[in-house]
């Protein structure tokens, strides 16, 4: 586990070991950033892990993400839109981490039908496969804070109106609601996590399809300036190890069934201050500030940071890794491995 102190690593292993040891786990989007990070942790906990990923280049899957655990996991190159593969892959599994999806907000606007197919229709196919062929499976779905749109108040809690500003957000709402519906109507134990700006080793850095911070990190390591659009917007960030903790807590507790939880960072920060902190941690670098491009300004949500009180009260989750430590771990990783992500 990257980023966590030895004491915290030991505590997490002791906490989760008995819950995941010997469990059969399938992760859709398993070669992506979050899916592969989950896989690394689950392997250390003794789970039997199957990774499902289409490895389509625009969606972030990378075989290097399972470096060190490749011999300990099964990899199935398949698309979640393939109902027949899903039917086979979910049979006999105890847990499903449903992370496959199209994450780019801009791509969802330029190709809305693909986003609909992956983030909406395919999620229904996943749940139908569970209902028909493995109704005892537990499902944790990865959603996004983008479903809220432009906040009416801060920090944003789960009672806030859902008002997406792009096609991706609309389809993510549908995907998470399908999971809650199947929990409530069919008894398929399911929950959803609304993630916000998850960062860390294995995140996509060659473009902005997952997160703008990845491109910032790439430019810093390559010694070229990066661009900050706007700069005064407030954001919060979740380090990958903390996000993995949230997924594991949700998967291992029956108290999560039928719920949607915010997963966020501890302290909001402006993008300009984030850029300054990133350069400070790296020890060098520079950036330029620009106005938002018109096409992105139309779907920008302004300030956003999460209220994660519900998941804290229900499951005991809260972020443990500071933003400075998260940036340090991320920069260290890509200083060593950047060519594998370009």
Render pLDDT for 108-117 as a digit per residue (tens, 0 to 9): 778 888 888 8
Give domain 6-199+237-264+306-321's CATH number out of 3.20.20.60, 3.40.50.720, 3.30.110.60, 3.40.50.920.
Answer: 3.40.50.720
Task: Please say if the pLDDT value at position 35 is more than 60.
Answer: yes
Q: Where are the domains of the chain?
A: 6-199+237-264+306-321
Residue 191 bridge partners (DSSP): 140
Which of 6-20, 73-87, 183-197, 207-221 shows the lowest per-residue confidence on average (mean pLDDT)? 6-20
CA pair distance 4, 253, nearest whole angstrom: 22
Interior CA angle at 118 toward 182 and 191, to 5°? 30
Q: Nearest Cα to 215, choosing from 264, 146, 287?
A: 287
pTM over cut 0.95: no
What is the predicted pLDDT for the residue at 14? Answer: 58
Kindly indicate the confidence band of residue 41, based on its pLDDT and cuts at 50, 70 and 90.
very high
Rg (CA), the chain: 19
Render pLDDT for 306-333 as a digit per residue (tens, 0 to 9): 999 999 999 999 999 999 999 999 999 9
Neighbours of 196 (CB within 10 A): 23
| 245-262 average pLDDT score | 98
Plot region of 137 (φ>0 → left; ψ -120 to 50 → alpha; else → beta):
beta
What is the predicted pLDDT for the residue at 221? Answer: 96
Q: How is the beta sheet containing 138-144 ordered, strand by strand?
A: 73-77, 48-53, 24-28, 95-98, 138-144, 190-195, 260-263
What is the predicted pLDDT for the residue at 292? Answer: 72
Say which residue, 16 or 162, is predicted with more confidence: 162
Half-sphere exposure (CA, 13 Å, Cβ side) for 14? 6
Q: According to DSSP H, which parts of the chain are helical? A: 6-20, 33-44, 83-89, 105-110, 112-116, 122-133, 167-186, 212-222, 240-252, 271-282, 294-297, 309-315, 323-337
Plot region of 16 (φ>0 → left; ψ -120 to 50 → alpha; else → beta):
alpha
Distance of CA 80 to the CA centre of its chain: 17
What is the predicted pLDDT for the residue at 255? Answer: 98
Q: What is the 3-state secondary structure (H, E, C) of 191-251?
A: EEEEECCEECCCCCCCCCCCCHHHHHHHHHHHCCCEEEECCCCEECCEEHHHHHHHHHHHH
| 214-220 average pLDDT score | 96
- Tokens linked to 9: 């690593």
What is the predicted pLDDT for the residue at 206? Answer: 87
For 116, 196, 207, the CA distances from 320, given in Å and listed in that order, are 35, 15, 28
Q: Nearest Cα to 145, choosing from 125, 159, 162, 128?
A: 162
Which of 20-29, 228-237, 296-305 shows the lowest per-residue confidence on average (mean pLDDT)? 296-305
What is the predicted pLDDT for the residue at 229? Answer: 86
Kindly indicate the confidence band of residue 297, based on its pLDDT and cuts at 50, 70 and 90.
low
pLDDT above 90: percentage of residues in the chain: 72
Map tokens 């139309």 to a residue.
298
- Tokens linked to 37: 């990070």
Whether residue 319 contacts residue 242, with contact meaning beta carbons closer than 8 Å, is answered with: yes
What is the predicted pLDDT for the residue at 168? Answer: 87
| 294-303 average pLDDT score | 71
What is the predicted pLDDT for the residue at 294? Answer: 65
Mean pLDDT, the chain, whole residue set: 91
Handedness of CA 170, 126, 318, 199 (dihedral sign): negative
Task: Please say if the pLDDT value at position 23 is more than 70.
Answer: yes
Task: Please say if the pLDDT value at position 276 is more than 80.
Answer: yes
């Amino acid at each position: 586990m990257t980023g966590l102190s030895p004491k915290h690593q030991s505590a997490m292993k002791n906490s989760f070991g008995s819950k995941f040891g010997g469990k059969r786990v399938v992760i859709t989007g398993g070669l992506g950033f979050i899916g592969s990070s989950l896989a690394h942790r689950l392997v250390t906990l003794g789970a039997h892990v199957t990774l499902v990923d289409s490895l389509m280049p625009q969606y972030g899957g990378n075989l290097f993400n399972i470096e060190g655990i490749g011999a300990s996991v099964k990899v199935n190159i398949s698309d979640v839109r393939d109902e027949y593969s899903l039917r086979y892959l979910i049979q006999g599994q105890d847990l499903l981490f449903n992370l496959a999806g199209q994450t780019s907000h801009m791509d969802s606007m330029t190709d809305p039908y693909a986003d609909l197919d992956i983030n909406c229709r395919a999620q229904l196919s996943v749940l139908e496969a569970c209902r028909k062929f493995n109704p005892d499976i537990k499902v944790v779905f990865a959603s996004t804070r983008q479903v809220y749109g432009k906040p009416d108040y801060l920090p944003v809690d789960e009672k806030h109106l859902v008002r997406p500003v792009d096609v991706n957000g609309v389809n993510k709402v549908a995907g998470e609601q399908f999971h809650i519906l199947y929990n409530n109507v069919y008894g398929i134990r399911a929950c959803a996590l609304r993630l916000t700006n998850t960062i860390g080793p294995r995140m996509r850095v060659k473009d902005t399809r997952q997160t703008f911070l990845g491109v910032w990190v790439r430019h810093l390591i390559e010694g070229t300036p990066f661009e900050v659009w706007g700069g005064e917007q407030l954001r919060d960030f979740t380090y990958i190890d903390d996000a993995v903790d949230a997924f594991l807590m949700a998967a291992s507790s029956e108290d999560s069934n039928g719920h949607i939880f915010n997963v966020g960072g501890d302290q909001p920060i402006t993008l300009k201050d984030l850029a300054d902190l990133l350069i400070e941690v790296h020890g060098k670098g520079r950036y330029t500030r620009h106005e938002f491009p018109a096409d992105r300004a139309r779907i920008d949500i302004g300030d956003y940071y999460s209220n994660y009180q519900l998941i804290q009260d229900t499951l005991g989750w809260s972020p443990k890794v500071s933003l400075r430590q998260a940036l340090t771990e991320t920069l260290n990783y890509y200083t060593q491995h950047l060519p594998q992500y370009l």
